[in-house]
Amino acid sequence: MKRFALKGQICYSAGLDEIRVMRQGYLLCEDGISGGVCLEFPEDWCEAEVRDYGNRIIIPGLTDLHMHAPQYSIRGMGMNLELLEWLNTQIFPEEAKYADLEYAERAYGIFVEDMKRGATTRACIFATLHLPATRILMEKLEQTGLKTMVGKVNMDRNSPDILREQDANRSAEDTVIWLEENLDRYQNVKPILTPRFIPSCTDELMARLKQIQAAYQLPVQSHLSENPGEIGWVQELCPESEFYGDAYDGFGLFGGADCPTIMAHCIHSGEAEQNRMKERGIWIAHCPESNMNLSSGIAPVRDFLNKRIRVGLGSDIAGGSSASIFRTMADAIQVSKLRWRLVDESLKPLTFEEAFYLATKGGGSFFGKVGSFEPGYELDAVVLDDTELKCPNCLTVKQRLERICYLSDERQIVAKYVAGKELFSIN
């Protein structure tokens, strides 16, 4: 039994509306699991190591529910375009480069090193359709100690020749080969089934993917209702579907007890689609910066929360330009204010407390009991030093944390723990 404690200014979500703060508290860890937070060090823990971080702030690790690793190299490019044109002119040509393993090695090396230094401890990640390059990504992520899910992308239609699988059979066969090689190969990295989106997957492929999902009991990640043009396209391709999400549901790839599913964006999800997501237990990956950059719109997150739909945050690299979930928190708050002011004043903007919840416990729940310091949760923690963010005022711990959300970068991250394992600590 391995025990240790972190001491410092501890902050975590007690619920959607409350950030619990314990000044100079002790965060207990036993075999990678949180033993809770206390003000007085327990007598029966007297032999445990105490790592004292002084006035630094200790928060749960952040979760990124949606990002595209092969797009990291072209962040901030083509931002004058809308989704479908951006995919065709920027993204598909870039992702095709991952057929070259030397390029994949270099590009994924940059992505993984940056991920290791950031505040994200859990992430759901799209790779490409290339098996060897996807193996490279998984190997590199495993070495970081981050807990991630990685998907080999499936796409057999409506894509350029350089980035389209031969047919549904080939796509399914390659997916099974990839799964057989990697399902239990890693401790930290797990596969997730990844049909890119309905327009890029034939009906035959979607049916095959459901068979694979059921056989291997895999989670699923994809995109939903991001852009009006995309939604219209799905309606043409799947005229029998009531709405975009119903197309996934028709193939059994839209949540349910045996198919945990993340759908990214959901900006234009109407009442019927939202109700279906609630019914099926879908996790929504809210990607505010990407939604702005690609002129897609502002997701009705308040509606999702009112309906008690599961919601987390996604950087959506490279629709988003930053892999920082702190940045995503700030963007989520800011765009919710615009939606409240310009679209529907009956739906109040997100609060800082709510954005912090989405970044930690909300998104973390896709990985199980993750994203909190409550007893029984896996202990992911990030230690923040805001000394360089100088201020003449005497701030509360919560005020300091809010400033970090808007002002920080990786320089404020001085220690990082995942499932109780220290990834790094800078004195």
Q: In terms of residue numbers, what domain contains 159? A: 62-367
Q: pLDDT digits over 184-195, tens only?
A: 999 999 999 999
Q: Verify that 419 and 386 share a domain, yes or no.
A: yes
31: its two tokens: 């075999």
Specify the pLDDT at position 57: 98
Specify the pLDDT at position 53: 98
Q: pLDDT digits over 92-109, tens only?
A: 999 999 999 999 999 999
Q: Verify that 230 and 309 share a domain, yes or no.
A: yes
DSSP state of 387: T
Question: What is the chain's Cα-based Rg?
Answer: 21
Q: Verify that 41 and 74 share a domain, yes or no.
A: no
> Max Cα separation, the chain?
66
Rounded to 5 degrees, φ, ψ at 150 are -125, 135
CA atoms of 106 and 134, how far apart (whole Å): 13
Specify the pLDDT at position 21: 98
Q: Verify that 190 and 262 share a domain, yes or no.
A: yes
For strands 49-60 and 381-384, give the pairing: antiparallel
Stretch 262-266: mean pLDDT = 98
Which of 341, 367, 393 is at the close of a domain? 367
Q: Verify that 72 and 83 share a domain, yes or no.
A: yes
Q: Verify that 175 and 73 share a domain, yes or no.
A: yes
The pTM score is 0.98
Which of 349, 367, 385 is at the close of a domain? 367
Stretch 348-359: mean pLDDT = 98
DSSP state of 273: H
User: Over the chain, what is the mean pLDDT?
Assistant: 97
Could you count the other beta carbons within 10 Å of the beta carbon of residue 425?
12
Q: Verify that 339 and 412 share a domain, yes or no.
A: no
Q: Verify that 38 and 99 share a domain, yes or no.
A: no
Tell me what percent of the residues of the chain surpass a pLDDT of 90: 98
Helix H or strand E encompassing 187: none
Q: Verify that 135 and 217 share a domain, yes or no.
A: yes
Confidence class for position 260, pLDDT limits 50, 70, 90: very high
Which of 320, 336, 367 is at the close of a domain? 367
CA atoms of 166 and 154, how far apart (whole Å): 11
Tell me what percent of the residues of the chain surpass a pLDDT of 70: 100
Question: 112-123 burial, b for 16+ CB within 10 Å, e for fewer?
Answer: beebbbbbbbbb
CA atoms of 299 and 303, how far apart (whole Å): 9
Q: Verify that 100 and 25 share a domain, yes or no.
A: no
Specify the pLDDT at position 37: 98
Stretch 200-224: mean pLDDT = 98
Q: Is the pLDDT of residue 1 over 70?
A: no
Specify the pLDDT at position 409: 84
Stretch 163-167: mean pLDDT = 97
**What's the domain count of the chain?**
2
SS (H, E, C) 191-251: ECEEECCHHHCCHHHHHHHHHHHHHHCCCEEEEECCCHHHHHHHHHHCCCCCCHHHHHHHC
Q: Verify that 189 and 228 share a domain, yes or no.
A: yes
Residue type at 310 in one-letter notation: R
**Listed residue (67, 141, 72, 13) closest to 314, CA to CA:** 67
Specify the pLDDT at position 45: 94
* Bridge partners of residue 50, in order along the sequence: 5
Spatial contact of 314 and 328, defined as CB atoms under 8 Å apart: yes
Please, what is the Cα angle at 364 between 19 and 118, to 5 degrees?
Answer: 85
Q: pLDDT digits over 397-413, tens only?
A: 999 999 999 998 888 99
* Bridge partners of residue 420, in order along the sequence: none
CA atoms of 423 and 176, how far apart (whole Å): 32
* CATH number for the domain harbouring residue 55: 2.30.40.10
Residue with tokens 């896996």: 378
Specify the pLDDT at position 427: 73
Q: Verify that 249 and 395 share a domain, yes or no.
A: no
* DSSP one-letter string for 1-19: --EEEEEEEEEEEEETTEE
CA atoms of 363 and 361, how far apart (whole Å): 6
Q: pLDDT digits over 214-258, tens only?
A: 999 999 999 999 999 999 999 999 999 999 999 999 999 999 999
Rounded to 5 degrees, φ, ψ at 213 are -60, -45
* CATH number for the domain harbouring residue 80: 3.20.20.140
